[in-house]
Amino acid sequence: MKNTIFTGIATALITPLTENGVDYDALARLIDWQIDEGINALVICGTTGEASTLTDDEHREAIRFAVKQAAGRVPIIAGTGSNDTEYAIELTRSACADGADGVLVVTPYYNKATQSGLIRMFSAIADAATAPVILYNVPSRTGVNILPKTVQALAEHPNIVGIKEASGNISQIAETISLIGDKMDVYSGNDDQIVPILALGGKGCISVLSNPLPRKTVEICDRFFAGDVAGSAKLQLDMLPLINALFSEVNPIPAKAAMAAMGFCEDYLRLPLTSMEDAHRAVLMEELRRHGALNG
């Protein structure tokens, strides 16, 4: 069994932005609050962190800053994927040199790849990394799916330790877990599938929901691992309307709106992302109030 980077919930953290760039004061407050609320790990510069519109300097500095701010209190996992393998290797090396505890590498988007191309790309990045690698399968965004037998092949690489599964296909995820055994950790990439994936042997979730509700999201896993499967499922289902509200528009639009309403950042996104539409925002705010994240 390879070393597990984290068990439970890792927040796919938003990146607080203003028209002048990354708001590092706000990022520090977010990191400290997430840790104080009991989060198990943090993902910096992933999809929810708007990595696709950060400059190269912003991307690298945000990772360095998060590692320094966390100061070893929780693992920091850096998003370092790209559809340009050489750039992904450079970014991975930089994140590892700056102290990231792991890297999250997404499937290549737009140019896509065959399954053999995926194996060669992920292997090249893992060869270059000095921190463990988590694969990220999100075909709805990238247009390419990591098939179970491909995951099985990649599980043989000593530095590939996990996969964030956001395909939404429970049957595929079950097949993947059956093929890899204990050679790789599996994390849900969808907040509405935390309990089902835990039930199949998953180690947790890389979560958007835990941006506004870290403690309650962690409790889903804590209850499950303590043997209270019914209680875990009840929490999951109770939060389903909030999860749906957080994905009523393209992530991270609702997550950024939620964290701004809670006073952590500006509701500022870079184009092509735009602020949340009023009708969706009203539903999101009502759900945040229902769960105690907002007063009034």
24 is catalytic: no
Cis previous bond, 158, omega within 30: no
C-alpha to C-alpha distance for 257 and 267, rounded to whole angstroms:
6
Cβ-based burial of 3 (10 A; exposed 0-12, middle 13-18, buried ≥19): exposed
C-alpha to C-alpha distance for 269 and 252, rounded to whole angstroms:
9
Tokens for 83, please give them: 């559809």
68 is catalytic: no
**Which of these is catalytic: 136, 187, 203, 256?**
136
**Which of these is catalytic: 24, 112, 164, 187?**
164
C-alpha to C-alpha distance for 112 and 91, rounded to whole angstroms:
19
- Beta carbons within 10 angstroms of residue 147's beta carbon: 16
The catalytic residues are: 136, 164
